[in-house]
Amino acid sequence: MAGWLVIACCVGVIATAIVMMGDLHSLATREAMQRQLARYDLRGVDVDRVLGIVRVVGTVAACCAAALGVLAWFTMQGSRSSRIGAAIVAVPMAFTGFSVNPLLAPAAAVGVVLFFTGSAGAWFRAPSAPAAPPPGGWPPPR
């Protein structure tokens, strides 16, 4: 269930990043950025620089979300290395994705944490070895 949560959240982060990239160079966005920059009086920072940073952060979030979605799929197939990779990719996706979608990006990171807890952690553990025979051997059949 945690795998489907991660995949659904990653699809949402990707969709939000695509919409955000489309609206990034609209007149309303540029005017809102100019108002915010004038409000805080940041010298040396112009609208184009801020929009470039937002574009890079959105692209990184979308790429990390795509990778995390694929890794979650392979984790659901039982791949241990995908589970480790998902844990690694979840960190930058949570930080950059928070600026894209502050609800779904942390939810995906929580889903990755669930890969390591409870019954999910037991599912990845190696099967236990069969019980050793008693010291005198198995009792003879009757």
Q: Does 12 reside within a domain? A: yes
* Domain membership flag for residue 18: yes
Instruction: Identify the band that residue 141 occupies on the pLDDT scale cut at 50, 70 and 90.
Output: low
Tell me if 57 is assigned to some domain. yes
Count of domains in the chain? 1
**For residue 65, is it within any domain?**
yes
Question: What are the distances in angstroms from CA 8 to CA 24, 50, 131, 140?
Answer: 24, 29, 42, 57
d(CA 63, CA 89): 10
pLDDT tens digits, 38-97: 888 777 888 888 899 999 999 999 999 999 999 999 998 888 899 999 999 999 999 999
Instruction: Tell me the one-letter amino acid at 129.
Output: A
Q: Is residue 139 part of a domain?
A: no
Q: Is residue 61 in a domain? A: yes
